[in-house]
Structures are given as structure tokens and as C-alpha cells.
Amino acid sequence: MTVKVAVAGATGRLGRLVCEIVEADPAYELVAKLSSRSGVEEGANAQILVDVSHPDASPAIVERALDRGQRVLVGTSGWSEAKLAPLREKVAESGATVIVVPNFSLGSVLGTVLARIAAPFYDSIEIIEAHHPAKVDSPSGTAVRTAELMAAARGGAPTAAPFADQPARGELVAGIPVHSLRLAGVVAKQEVRLGGPGEVLSITHDTHSDEAYRAGIVAALAALQTASGLTVGLEGVLGLDGILANQKGL
Ligand SMILES: NC(=O)C1=CN([C@@H]2O[C@H](COP(=O)(O)OP(=O)(O)OC[C@H]3O[C@@H](n4cnc5c(N)ncnc54)[C@H](OP(=O)(O)O)[C@@H]3O)[C@@H](O)[C@H]2O)C=CC1
Ligand SMILES: O=C(O)C1=N[C@H](C(=O)O)C[C@H](O)C1
């Protein structure tokens, strides 16, 4: 029996890749390609809803899918801890399955794991992210999640973010300044810089094409079959939980 999948955001850049992956796998049947113009009833017969749409639309799309009893994979950005908190409650009450993946690329997940490991050793931390000019949100979801996880790993915000009230110092996320660049020629890039006495550690990840997301999407779709509750990030899916076992975190 094939698993019926609906994709919200199917006409977009990431949505097209998700549809291609689903259509190429005989285990799945793509039953709905949804866009901003789709009616709310479209895709109601799917067992899995993949949301790769728009940060403003994502919470309502996810809520509707959960009310229908669908398993949900979210790749849309904007799922900060503040937005995850009510989702966590809803999932706990309903016993639903949701996987939220701020970034499907292997290198990005590993970069964030390394940043979490390094975070407790430094008091001075900043994040610089760069994306293509069509990106509608800033800071990126990946940068927000990275900042939140790093602050949690340290047990709180870094103490050193001098003159953070000045606009050019970036947006403070969990006490960490995040700087967003939107540049022609860029797909996606994130750099975490950690400063200490006489040294700076930089953890950089570059995405050169959407192909970087393919393996993560395949892995997350597979994980959705056996997962339960709310999972955030591909760390567990990639078996990185052991490395992070002694870390405080979200
Ligand atoms: N997790 C990850 O690894 C990645 C996440 N992303 C995130 O995925 C999301 C989509 O990115 P991308 O594909 O580049 O964006 P695009 O702008 O290319 O596509 C957006 C899609 O969402 C639909 N959409 C827009 N507004 C709404 C709405 N109000 N209600 C329902 N559907 C809507 C669009 O439909 P229409 O055609 O009608 O406008 C389109 O299908 C972003 O949040 C981005 O940050 C992107 C890359 C990787
Ligand atoms: O819009 C994008 O392109 C991306 N969005 C995600 C984010 O906001 O972190 C993931 C990746 O950076 C690409």
C-alpha cells in the first residue's frame, strides 16, 4: 500500500524538490500539490502533509493537518521556540506526529551540532547568515534555531554582546546577535563565530544548490513512518543524539 502525501508549497523552490522525491518513490503517492491558491479541503485525503510554504502560513497549515490526523513534516522556516511551544502542547495532547526540520542539509545539521558543543566554552558569540534575495524572512530559521540551541547548551545567553542596542549589531536571538545578508549569487550560508581570549572559532556552512536538501528530505519522510510526538531537527534521524547526550538543550 502506498502512503498518500500532500505537499503545501508545491509550486515553490523547495516544494518542487519534495514533489520530485515523492513522485520518484513507489512507496508514496502524491495526492495534492498545494499552493497559496488552494482550497482548504484540498489534500484532506493524504496520510502525510509536507509543509514547505511560507512562515506566516505554516502554523495554520500544520494545525489543519493535525486536526485531520495527518502526520506532518515541516520544512518551512519561522518555527522559533515561541511558535514551537503551542505545537508541542497540541502534539502532546493529541498524540500526533510532527517533524520540524529547520534545515534539511547534512552539513547544516552537523554545523549546528558543532556550534552547540562549542557554545559553553565561549562568552562572545555571533551568527552571520546569507541567503538569496527572494528569501522572505530574516533571520533565517536555521540561524534562529542555532542561536536558541547554543544559548540552551550554555544554560543561558552569552554575557558578551556589547552595544547590542545599535541596529547594525544585528537582531538578538536568545541573546546572540544574528546578522542577515540577502545577496544575489548566494543560495544559503551560515557562519557561527565564537570569540575567546586571543582566538576566534568559526563554524561555516555553505549550501551551493538545493540538491543539499534531498537526502535530508528523504530521511525525514522515512522517519515520519516510525516517529511519534514532536521532533525538531534531523539530529536524531542522523544518529547524532549520542554526541549531544550530555548537553542541556531544547
Ligand atoms: N528546511 C530547509 O532545509 C529549507 C527550508 N526552506 C524554507 O521553505 C519555505 C519555502 O521556501 P521556498 O521554496 O524557497 O519558497 P518559494 O517562494 O519558492 O515557495 C513558496 C511556496 O509556498 C506557497 N505559499 C506562499 N504563501 C502561501 C500561503 N499564504 N499559503 C499557502 N501557501 C503559500 C507558494 O505558493 P504560490 O506559488 O501560490 O505563491 C509556493 O508554493 C521557506 O520558509 C524557506 O525558508 C527553504 C529551503 C530549505
Ligand atoms: O529560504 C531558504 O532558502 C532557506 N531557508 C531555511 C532557513 O530559513 O533557515 C533553510 C535554508 O537556510 C534555506
49 CA from centroid of ligand 1 (Å): 14
Ligand 2 centroid from CA 1, angstroms: 33
Residue 249: pLDDT band with limits 50, 70, 90: low
Residue 117 has pLDDT above 70, yes or no: yes
Q: Is 159 marked as binding a ligand? A: no
Q: Which residue is catalytic, options 54, 83, 90, 135?
A: 135
Q: Which of 11, 13, 50, 54 to mutate to test the pocket of ligand 1 (most atoms within 8 A of CB)?
A: 54
Annotated binding residue 154: no
Helix (H) or strand (E) holding 51: strand 48-51
Q: How far apart, in whole angstroms, are the C-alpha atoms of residue 151 and residue 68? A: 35
Q: Is 214 in the pocket of ligand 1 (CB under 6 A)?
A: no
Q: Is 78 marked within a binding site?
A: no
- Going from the Cα of 159 to the center of ligand 1, the distance in angstroms, rounded, reads 36
Catalytic (active site) residue 135: yes
Q: Is 189 a catalytic residue?
A: no
pLDDT of residue 236: 85
Cα–Cα distance for residue pair 121/196, rounded to 1 Å = 8
4, 33, 131, 189: which is the annotated catalytic residue?
131
Q: What pLDDT score does 246 carry? A: 74
Question: Considering every ligand atom, which ligand is closest to the CA of 211?
Answer: 1
Q: What average pLDDT does this structure show over 55-74? A: 97
Average pLDDT value for residue range 122-130: 97
The cell numbers describing 55, all together, are 512562515
Closest residue CA from atom 2 of ligand 2: 135
pTM of the model: 0.96
Burial of 33 (0-12, 13-18, 19+ CB in 10 A): buried
> Which ligand 2 atom sits nearest the alpha carbon of residue 104?
10
Is residue 194 packed enough to be buried (19+ CB in 10 Å), middle (13-18) or exposed (0-12)? buried
pLDDT at 1 over 80: yes
In this structure, which amino acid lies at residue 155? G
- pLDDT bin (cut points 50, 70, 90) of residue 247 is confident
User: Minimal CA–CA distance to 126: which of 179, 182, 64?
Assistant: 179
Q: CA-CA distance, 85 to 100, in Å (whole number)?
A: 13
Please tell me the residue having the least CA distance from ligand 2 atom 1. Answer: 135
pLDDT at residue 166 in the model: 95
Angle formed by the axes of helices 214-223 and 13-24, nearest 10°: 60
d(CA 169, CA 12): 32
Selection from 31, 84, 60 nearest residue 230 by Cα: 84
d(CA 184, CA 187): 8
Q: Is 53 in the pocket of ligand 1 (CB under 6 A)?
A: yes
pLDDT confidence of residue 242: 81
Do the annotations mark residue 38 as ligand-binding?
Answer: no
- pLDDT digits over 173-230, tens only? 999 999 999 999 999 999 999 999 999 999 999 999 999 999 999 999 999 999 999 9
Q: What is the mean pLDDT of residues 14-42?
A: 97
Tens-place pLDDT, residues 144-163 = 999 999 999 999 988 888 99
Which pLDDT band, with edges at 50, 70 and 90, does 241 fall under? Answer: confident
Instruction: Determine whether the annotation assigns residue 14 to a binding site.
Output: yes
Q: Which domains does the chain have, with CATH numbers?
A: 3-100+211-246 (3.40.50.720), 106-208 (3.30.360.10)
User: Which comes out higher in pLDDT, residue 233 or 248?
Assistant: 233
Residues contacting residue 91 through CB under 8 Å, at least 6 positions apart: 66, 97, 98, 229, 230
Beta-carbon count within 10 A of 228 CB: 11
Least confident of 11-25, 146-160, 188-202, 231-245: 231-245
Q: Does the structure's ipTM exceed the value 0.95? A: yes
Question: 179 with 145: CB under 8 angstroms?
Answer: no
